Structures are given as C-alpha cells and as structure tokens.
Amino acid sequence: MCRAFFAAALAAIALLDSFSPSTAAEPVTRYRTVTVGDIKVFYREAGDPKKPALLLLHGFPTSSHMFRNLIPLLADRYHVIAPDYPGFGFSDAPDRTQFNYTFGHLTEVMDGFTQAVGLKRYAMYIFDYGAPVGLRLALAHPERVTAIISQNGNAYEEGLSAGFAGRLRASREPTEQARAAWRAALTPEAGQRRYLTGVSEAHRVLVAPEAFALDSALLSRPGNDEIQLDLLMDYGSNVALYPEVQEYLRRTHPPVLLVWGKNDQTFVPAGAEAFKRDVPGAEMHLYDTGHFALETHLHEIAGTIRDFLRRKVDRLPATIGGIPHPAGTQSSARSQDHSAPAMGATSP
C-alpha cells in the first residue's frame, strides 16, 4: 500500500513538473502609458527586457490592438513593444490646432518613445503607416535597427495600387476637394472592407469583428476624422522619401523579411518584390489574404518571424535598455501599468 502510494505520489510530482515550465514561461502583456513631451503614449509590452527587442508599428486606422495575438507568440523569446501613435488607439489625440499631424511629427514622437522606454537596439515590424514611421526612424538612427520585418509596409512606388496612387496624385494640392475625397476611407463600411477584401470565404471566419469595430469607434471620436484626413493628405511626403529610404537599404543591407498579404488592394506584392532589388538577401513570403494578414495567417507569420529573427538577430548583442518601468529616462517619462496574462505562447 505504502509503496503504491509512494509511486503514485512520484508520478503526480512528475506530472506537475511537466506543466511547470510552460506555466512559468507564459508571457504577460502589460498595458502601459509613458509621457513623451506633452503626449501620453499607450503601449503594449511583453517579454524579458534583457532579450532582443522587437518594435511593432501599426497601420491605418488601427492601433497596437492589431498585434494583440502576435505579441504572446513572440514574447517568450523577445522583448516586444507595440505603441499607439498620437491620434490612434489609446494614446493622446491632441487637437490638430495644437499638434501637427504629419508623418514626420509622428516619427519624432515615436523616436522619443523608443528613448523613453529604453530601446537602444531593436528589430522593427512595419505595417501600412508603420512603414513611413519605422523607416524614418531607421534613417535617423540606422545603428539602432537590427532587422526589418515588413508586412504590407511599402517603400516603393510600384507597391502602390493604381487606385491609391491616383488618390495620392489628386492630393498633391491641399484643396478641400482633395481632402473630401479621402473622407470615404473613414466610414465603418470602408473599415470593414479593409479587413475583408482579398480574404477568401474560408478565411473570413478568422477575422475578428471587434478589430474593425474598435477602429470605427476610435475614428468616431470628435475631431478624429480631421486628424486622419491631415495624415492622409500628408501621405505623399512618404512617397517623396522613397529614394532616400532605398539608398539606406542599399547602403546598410539590414536583414529584411517580407510577409505580405498578396491580395492587398492598397500595397500590392510588387512592393514586396522591390525590396529585393536593394537588399538582395531579403526573404519574401506571400500569403493568400488581404491587408490585415495577421487576422487570417497569424501562426504562419509568427512562425516565419521567429525563424527569421532566430537566424538574423538572436546572435547579435542583446538589446539592453528596455526597462519595466520607464521612469527617470531621457524623456522624463512617467508610466502607468496594468498587466494581464498573454495566452498562447509557442515553442521555438
């Protein structure tokens, strides 16, 4: 009896031990704010600050919420940080008479943000608006960028769809007529189309309706439509910067991973292919989906990112500087913290 009891106890202990590593390693996503200048920037953070850093830069008209499911799939191995730009998500949205909503100004705030949270070296994931913001950061601080992951983040004119390129041409003169033409992009119907266009019927069931519902709710805040129109009217400044970005890519040859929804109606696959012209070693993966590829191909993209970063970044000196509570840093940052467990971490 005692021997049987003892054997059963050992078996139970062994079983508990088999569960403990995954429980202990489960990443936690923290929801924080840090003040950069006069702007309170909201961000999501997960992973060990001593591990290599990955900065996730969202697109239009969404926020760091688009990375809600990707973060826990990477945070066991990387220090993952995803901010909301001013005017987006849960960051401050100062009145446009008090804040100049241009891509250059957004980048200035994000530059201050990276310093405030202590990111000294980082890989970046750039998507949609995240491309002009992230690539401006790379131009300003090439020594900080360990790798670039572009998910429908464009840097070439051939990557612009005919429809989008036409709207940009019409916006060269800042007229009220040109501004009004962009307003249709701000409706709830347009938001839903951005998520579903190019997505097969089989994959549409994977697109979370709360994603475009949240985008729409945040766009409907008083004055936010005019903020977004300011940025849409400024998008041509990003195209004007393409030659400089391409020269940066040719000169520095950062590791580049392209994970592209090939049915995107704004940034077409030719834009992914063009990166390889300036970075011949760039790795390209096309997925049978639309603009918001993470909604339908999350695990495939996460696995590709993990493999890429393992080969290209993990052996570099660790990014030391991401800190749990960014108080007393260069930007006199003040942070607030609410934490929740992030489920679903994968193994290597």
Active site residues: 291
Q: Give the helix ranges, DSSP H, for 53-183.
A: 71-74, 103-116, 130-140, 162-170, 176-182
Q: For residue 61, say if its preceding peptide bond is cis, omega within 30 degrees of 0.
A: yes
- Euclidean distance between CA atoms 157 and 243, whole angstroms: 10
Contact 316, 123 (CB under 8 A): no
Which secondary structure element, helix H or strand E, spans residue 33, and what is its range?
strand 28-36
Q: Give the helix ranges, DSSP H, for the chain.
A: 2-25, 71-74, 103-116, 130-140, 162-170, 176-182, 188-196, 201-204, 209-219, 224-234, 236-252, 270-278, 293-312
Amino acid at 170: A
Length of the chain: 348
CB contact set of 211 (below 8 Å; sequence gap of 6+): 62, 65, 66, 195, 292, 295
Angle at 264 between CA 261 and CA 270, to 5 degrees: 80
